[in-house]
A = this chain, B = another copy of it.
């Protein structure tokens, strides 16, 4: 920081006002100022007014760092998430952020890299013991969740409903499995012989929920179970995944792990000369904002990510403050939104 020329020392405050400056100007002790700010302890109305006036004058703002260091009440959360450009994560984040802000918490967001390990996650916390929310829809998120020390106050939005043997009470999830099964049954009910599935990357080593739900429904109906295709998160990956398959006229229904994949699938189908929904029905997952405006508009499973995010914060809030936190808000169950991209199977009598 070089300084050239004349600077009058008086009107260029080198650092902003601290609680001590306020105390000095107001002629009281620094502790009294703290009392006024936090509304704790007794202060005479007169003194309070004076202090408040000085605070206004000096434009004093409490330093959050110092406050947290000194063991003030936990009023901040860090959200760990990987890719905020994915609709699901972004919407969940929005819900979390809104709920937290409304409850008076300040929200920090820390973006996870695919390769980050345990040490790295601990590094992101401002202080040991910081409250954390994790969006664990993908691999990076799940790993971050796993590597979080058990003593940090945490709540997570996860893909996978925990097994019955060890349910973590601090997790929320949407019933992807039932939703995928429902969407699959819907397609079967339209007369399709079977349904193909393009999967998003799995966050676990096990079969992902959506894949399982799809398989459940096919098995229950006694239909052939095709090998699931492995897509990524992007339209491009959906496009590439189904290209080998999509020209086959026996393929009449494809369920996609998210709406972006469905977009790629529809393009691949068009390029193969197949008409949607006449020759081929496509169903997505998420009900992202563009879905209703695509051509054809996309039949998809609406997931209440925002509600889930709000609920996740509600859970965390109760964990931090079991006495005073309000009840955890409910969120909506997945819902199939039928639009133009799905129709009775070609040649069916529906």
Q: List chain A positions with a Cβ less than 8 A from chain B.
A: 15-16, 61, 63-66, 68-69, 84-85, 87, 90-91, 93-94, 97, 101, 106-111, 113, 122-129, 234-236, 239, 260, 263-264, 266-267, 270, 289-290, 292-297
Return chain B residues, CB-CB under 8 Å to A289: 85, 234-235, 260
Q: Given that A64-B126, A127-B63 are contacting pairs, would A294 and B292 also be in contact in the complex, using a CB cutoff of 8 Å?
A: no
Return chain B residues, CB-CB under 8 Å to A294: 263, 294-295
Return chain B residues, CB-CB under 8 Å to A109: 107-109
Nearest chain B residue, comparing its CB with the CB of A108: B108
Q: How far is the CB of A275 from chain B (nearest CB, A)?
A: 11
Return chain B residues, CB-CB under 8 Å to A93: 84
Return chain B residues, CB-CB under 8 Å to A124: 106
Known contacts A63-B126, A101-B113, then 20 further A-B pairs from the complex at CB < 8 Å, ordered by chain A residue:
A15-B129, A63-B69, A64-B127, A65-B127, A66-B69, A69-B69, A85-B87, A90-B90, A106-B110, A107-B109, A107-B111, A235-B292, A236-B292, A236-B293, A260-B290, A263-B293, A263-B294, A266-B293, A267-B297, A270-B295
Q: How far is the CB of A10 from chain B (nearest CB, A)?
A: 15
Nearest chain B residue, comparing its CB with the CB of A64: B126
Q: How far is the CB of A288 from chain B (nearest CB, A)?
A: 9
Q: How far is the CB of A236 from chain B (nearest CB, A)?
A: 8
Chain B CB within 10 Å, residue with most, of A85, A101, A296: A85
A-B contact pairs, 25 of them (CB 8 A): A15-B128, A61-B122, A61-B123, A63-B127, A64-B127, A65-B65, A66-B69, A84-B84, A84-B90, A84-B93, A85-B87, A85-B90, A85-B91, A85-B289, A90-B90, A94-B111, A107-B109, A108-B110, A109-B109, A235-B292, A239-B293, A263-B293, A264-B293, A267-B293, A290-B290
